[in-house]
Structures are given as structure tokens and as C-alpha cells.
Structure 1
Amino acid sequence: MSFRAKFALILLSATLALYTVVGGWISTRAQQPANDPNAQLRIFESVLQHIQNDYVDEPNMEKVRAGALRGLAYGLDPYSTYLTPDQVREYSGTGKDNQVGIGAEMSQVASYLYVIAPMKGSPADQAGVRAGDIIEYIDGKATRDISLYDAKQLLNGPAGSEVKLRILRANSRPLTLAVKRGSSRAAAAESRMEAGKIGLLRINNLADGEAAEARSRLQELIKQGAQKVVLDLRGTAGGSLGEAVAVANLFIKEGTIAQTTGREGKTLKTFTADPKATIFSGPIIALIDAGTSGAAEVVASALLERNRSQLVGEKSFGAGAEQQLFTLRGGDGLLLTTVKWATASGKPFLGEDRAHSGVTPSVEVKRPEVAEAIDPEDLTGNDDDPVGRPTQPNEKPEVTVAPNVAKPVVEDVQMKKALELLRESKPTPMQRAA
């Protein structure tokens, strides 16, 4: 890259973070096509000139550059971010190695830190963190408008140390939860038999090695006489694409299971079923909810698009992407999403916005015992609504939640619906336990 090109790139990034500060001035001039790089560069050069010539103090251009790069990545998706040199070393495995988290899959929605789902049995789960919670403060530090990567760093710390979370939850005053950090490994797959020769297979996670565990559990169900299966993917977040394909292949004998896509939706790789890996061809119903994301969405969408299963429950979250680290001259870096996971038909799970993300169930059933999650986009700053506005770290009234409080037993209406649908279906002859 020529010196002129490098300088132009720095100019572009160095002014983007301050775009909103001079937004009114820019809006009168930004009539050029939005994606014309030359037009945008002229705007950025003008803004940079004003910063250098008109800002009240002598600007620290290194800080301006770092802030601008954060802003540049922040406008892309929750998983793309700017990394400092220390963060680059940590990401590359040469930094801190004694840090653990709280065991929850998270994303960012409308600039808020959003809990997709806590891992079953994790410190977050034991402390009472729920899917759909908004973490507003971490140890008194606001999470709004910082990157997802930075928020996760605030959550990490030495094993056994405590982190206090300020939580926004629907129909509730702000909550404070104390969570002890610790290593987390999600529970393995679970299975049991129901009346009517129906097997229940619960997938708690899709980390490396879990597809083999799911296969083993499914084989046990078949040996016990299961002719129909409920596949429970609710609250199953994160995981490996390869493991997801392997789980889907247990039920899908042929055809495309999933794809990965790149720039402009170009198909990068197609994952196809291996007939030899399929061990169950009977009727299936899969359960999904807003805590279903990533690898579990691959499984659910494959079953739906290959006409192997209806999906019962609620729309999934919408995640599944891969990032690549681009190291910069100063040792810092850009972590950019370069690959998206997609359904067999090519629809990415991570869409342009929430409305275009996730997998929609064929039969929508909401669980009345689960509070409707706050929509972060509705947090508009209404002073009359303690949930509908940002709060201060020590603002009262506030509720402190005791961990491990027993929950009342209520009917699982989503499971009930799945069992009803399966009992109405006819079993097919072929399923094998080996």
C-alpha cells in the first residue's frame, strides 16, 4: 500500500469517531452517494482539518485515531471491534491466561449488553442471570456504547472473584446480582423417554465433542424404543458450526445442511449431509426460543428447510459469524466479521438488524412463566419508567436478588405442544441404534 493510501486510511478512520459531534454540519454536505469512498474521504478530511485547526486544545491525534477506529468497527456488527495492542496479544493467546468469565453467551442490541442465554450450571446461571437480561453496569462501569469485546473483558477476572452486575429486566426494578467468576463448561446432552414411544433429547451446548455425546444419547433413546423425538434447543447458545452440522446429520440423510457466506452473500462453503451418519428418520419436533443462537440455529434451520421437523416455540436470537484479526502498524488491530453462517437456502442467521435475524418457528408458542425480554430499542429515556431509561450505578430503588432461589414448577407449554404434534404423527420404520 502506498504512503498516500495509508495516510488516506488514517484520515478516514481518525475522523469517523467524531462524526456525530459535527453531524449537523456534515448532514448539509453529505449529499454524495453513501458508499462513494472518495466523497466520504473528502468529508473526513474536512472534519480532521477542523479538529486540528479549530478544537479548543491541542488534540492528541493518537487518541483520536484509536477512538476513530473503535467507531469505525462499532458501526458494523456486535462482533467486529478495534483492539488495543494488549488486547491483540490477549486475543492471540500471548496475554493474560488466568482470566475466567461468568458463563453466559452475550451480544449487543441497540448499544446495550444483552444476555442471549446463560450456560446451564454456570456462575451466571447460579446467580440468577436470565436470557434477555440487559447488563447495564459491570462493577459500576456503564456498558452502553462500549464494544462487546470490552464488555466481556470487564466481566473477566481471577477465578473466585466477584463481579456485580446491574441488570435491567422487564416488569422489574433494576436488579443487582453478585456473580462469582469461574470456569464454565455447559452441561452435556440429556435424554429421557415419554409416553407414546417419544424420546426427549436436550442439547445444552454444541461445543467441540458434543455431537458425539448427542449421538450417544439418541442411540440410547432408540434402544429404549423411541419412534419419535423432541429435540430441545432452547437456551442453547454459541458453539461450533462443525458440531451443529454433525447433530443435524443425525436426523438428515441427504441434502445441504448449512452454508457459510462472505461478502455480498457469496457462498464460501456448503455443508452436505452424509447418509452414513444418519441414525434416526422418525418424526421430530424441535423446540427453539430467544436463547437459541449460533450453532443451535444451524440445527433448527436445517431440520426445518429439509422438511424433517416443525419448529415450536419462539424466534431464535440470530447469531453465527466468524471474525478475522487484522494487525495494524502500531500493534493494535481490527477484529472484523468476514464470514457469516447461513441456512441451507443461504439466509444468514445474523441479519442487518433484529427483524432480519434468527429462525422463525413454524408453530409459535410463548411460555407465560418467562417474562417478555426488554427490547433495548425501547429504552428511550422516559423519566417515568425506571426500566425505560438509563440509570446511575447507585440509583435507588433497587432490588438485590439472592441466588439459587427455588422457582415454582409450571407447565412447559412449548413441550406440551411438541408432544401433542408428535402424538398426531405416524412413526416411520427406519431408525438404527448403531
Structure 2
Amino acid sequence: MKPTLRNNLFILSIGLVLGLTLAITQGVFAERGTASTFSLPVDDLRTFTEVFAKIKNDYVEPVDDKTLLENAIRGMLTGLDPHSTYLDPEGYKELQVGTTGRFGGLGIEVGMEDGFVKVISPIDDTPAKRAGVMTGDLIVRLDDTPVKGLSLSDAVKIMRGKPGSDIVLTIVREGVDQPLKITITRDIIRVKSVKSRLLDDKFAYIRITSFQSKTGESLLKEIEKLKEDAGGSLKGLVLDLRNNPGGVLSAAVEVSDAFLTNGLIVYTEGRDVDSRLKFSATPNDVMDKAPIVVLVNGGSASASEIVSGALQDQHRAIIMGSKTFGKGSV
């Protein structure tokens, strides 16, 4: 390797990492109002530069700089925990689509675990649910493409596609000796996040399938409708959050606040001052202190756990079911 190339690549990498670091930390340092300094790991960056140059020069196929650097960023984040990920503009757009309640695909909420796609929860009334996909399934192959080595966004791109087209998922399921092959026909996924019905003797049943941007608003409308059907008031509520993979944090706060009159709903902690948030209840219980039972299971994750945890902590509801997913991050 020529010294000039090595030096130039090293300077390029130092500049890239320094730029990213300053962009991330600038707001924190300004908020703290201190003369904090940041020390770059020069020796480690030299190793990174050497690997970068080796791939550019010797890899079997040419790889552009943008792809290598984005893959490096993804690697940094996926190594932190199962839920941290890097979103490029296209990935961020996909995330926004998923919270609106209408998108094309299979109808499963997924994450990454040990390099494989893990099913957090199949969504009600979708192709994946009807095909028998279950919470906890590990997807190891998409058609003929191994999942190992793919990013989560790449796997999602493969699973989404033209409505009416088929995809074969190879799944490893706990308690089953051999991998399962499940063929699913893609469809337009229309997720109605809140469903309800009136049970016997003025008791209400509300099912929240996911937490979308308008879930809180939809919940209030459904409760008002149930009250009208019941003749003006309800004696109690069954809130079903089973196989609800979560969604928008603000929706979880709104749903919790609908049943609470005071107290802390949820708070977030982080090293950045801007990540330290507290959400408290406002004085209005739409159920007028009527008893509430919340149903949960292993597919209840994230925002579902926030709601059930807040109602339990404030002694507002009884939680029934099995152990929840245990995400613990927002």
C-alpha cells in the first residue's frame, strides 16, 4: 500500500468520525455549558482506516465509499443492543409509513436477535397472522436469501413487495425440531389500531393492536361510542394489549393518560439532557374509576409495556396474562 493512500484515507476517516462526533455531541456540550473535551481513539481509527483501505483495494468486487461507511455506522449501532439501528432517509421514510397504519407487506413487527430476524408480534388480520407466524419465531431465510448478514432494513425490504406475490419464510421455532417453511402472500396492510365491542352487562372490551399516531384519539372515540351503546356509562373495561408490539411513545402516553388522573406515566433516562423526559397524567379518567383489566403476553412490547406498567404502578388496573417482551428502551 502506498504511504500517500494510507495517509489520505486516515485523514478522511478522522474527519468523518470527528464530524459525526461533533454533530452528535455539540448540543449536549452546549446544554451543559462546560468546556468538555473529546478525545479521539487515534490508534483504533488507524486500524479502521487500514481495514477500509484493504477492502477498497483487495475485496473481490468494488465497493463504493458510501456503502462501506454506512455499513460501518450500522455495525456500531447494532453492536449496542437489539433495538438500536441506523436509519438512512429511505429507512426513516419506511418507519413513518409503519406508524400511519397502512403499508404493503406481511403484517409482522420484527427486530434483530443474534443476526436473525425475530418476530416480536404478528399483527391481527394480516397475512402473517393467518399463515401461523408466532411471537418469538426466528426467521433465518427469506425465499432463498439467508438472513444472517442482512441488516434489519434490508430484511424488511425483501419481505415487503407487490401485493399478491408470495414469499417463503424459513422459521426456527422454540420447541420444534426442524425449521418450518411458511408461504405468505403479501397484501396491503391496513392496521386499525383500536377495535372494541360491548360485552355483557355494560362491560367493554377494547383491543389495541399497535400504537400509531392517532391511537389515543381513536381510543377516546371508541369509549364514547361504547358508553352510548351501554346507555351512558360502563361498569368496567378489558384492555387487550396481547401481541401488541408497541409503536409511537406519545400514543402510549395518551392511552395511559385516558385512565389516570395524576401521577407519573413514564420517564426516560439518558446521557443527553434532551433524552431525560417525564410524562405525567392529567385530571380526567374516561372510565370514571370503573375497574380495568389489562391483558398482556410475550408479544406485548415497548409502548404496550409502558401502558400496562403505568396503570399497574398507579394501581389503576389489574394486569393479567404472561410475561411481556421486556424491551425496556424507547
Shorter-chain TM-score tier = 0.7 to 0.9
Q: Is the alpha carbon distance of 1:55 and 1:155 closer, same or farther for their aligned partners in structure 2, counting shifts above 3 Å?
A: closer
The number of equivalent residue pairs is 290
Q: Determine if contact 1:259/1:267 at 8 Å carries over to the other structure.
A: no
Shift of 1:119: 0.9
Q: Which blocks of at least 5 consecutive residues in structure 1 are unaligned?
A: 14-35, 94-98, 320-348, 352-434
Q: Determine if contact 2:104/2:186 at 8 Å carries over to the other structure.
A: yes
Structure 1 segment 28-177 matched on structure 2, within 5 A: 38=40, 40-46=41-47, 48-49=49-50, 52=53, 57=58, 62=65, 64-82=68-86, 88-89=89-90, 91-92=92-93, 100-172=104-176, 173-177=178-182
Select which of 237, 257, 268 maps to 1:229: 237
C-alpha distance in 2 between matches for 1:231 and 1:121: 18
> In structure 2, what is the equivalent of residue 183 of structure 1?
188
Q: Is the alpha carbon distance of 1:209 and 1:159 closer, same or farther for their aligned partners in structure 2, counting shifts above 3 Å?
A: same
Shift of 1:127: 1.7
C-alpha distance in 2 between matches for 1:179 and 1:159: 11
C-alpha distance in 1 between matches for 2:123 and 2:173: 18
Opposite residue 198 of structure 2, the aligned amino acid is: R
Q: Determine if contact 1:193/1:221 at 8 Å carries over to the other structure.
A: no
What is the TM-score when the length of structure 1 is the normalising length?
A: 0.58
Shift of 1:146: 2.2
What stretches of structure 1 move > 6 A for 4+ residues in a row? 53-56
Q: Is the alpha carbon distance of 1:41 and 1:250 closer, same or farther for their aligned partners in structure 2, counting shifts above 3 Å?
A: same
Query: 1 or 2 for the larger relative contact order (CA 8 Å, sep ≥6)?
Result: 1
> In structure 1, what is the equivalent of residue 30 of structure 2?
none
1:284 and 2:292 matched: yes
Select which of 298, 316, 320 maps to 1:312: 320
Select which of 209, 222, 247 maps to 1:239: 247
Shift of 1:269: 3.2
Select which of 3, 7, 13 maps to 1:7: 13
Shift of 1:253: 0.9
Q: Determine if contact 2:105/2:187 at 8 Å carries over to the other structure.
A: yes
Select which of 209, 212, 215 maps to 1:204: 209
Shift of 1:77: 3.6
What is the TM-score when the length of structure 2 is the normalising length?
A: 0.74
Q: Is the alpha carbon distance of 1:220 and 1:91 closer, same or farther for their aligned partners in structure 2, counting shifts above 3 Å?
A: closer
Shift of 1:155: 0.8
Q: Determine if contact 1:193/1:226 at 8 Å carries over to the other structure.
A: no
| Local SS of the residue matching 2:284 | helix
More helix by share: 2
C-alpha distance in 2 between matches for 1:51 and 1:90: 24
Shift of 1:52: 4.7
Shift of 1:280: 3.0
Structure 1 segment 376-395 matched on structure 2, within 5 A: none
C-alpha distance in 2 between matches for 1:314 and 1:211: 25
Shift of 1:152: 0.7
Calculate the aligned-residue CA RMSD, in Å. 3.6
Q: Is the alpha carbon distance of 1:112 and 1:227 closer, same or farther for their aligned partners in structure 2, counting shifts above 3 Å?
A: same
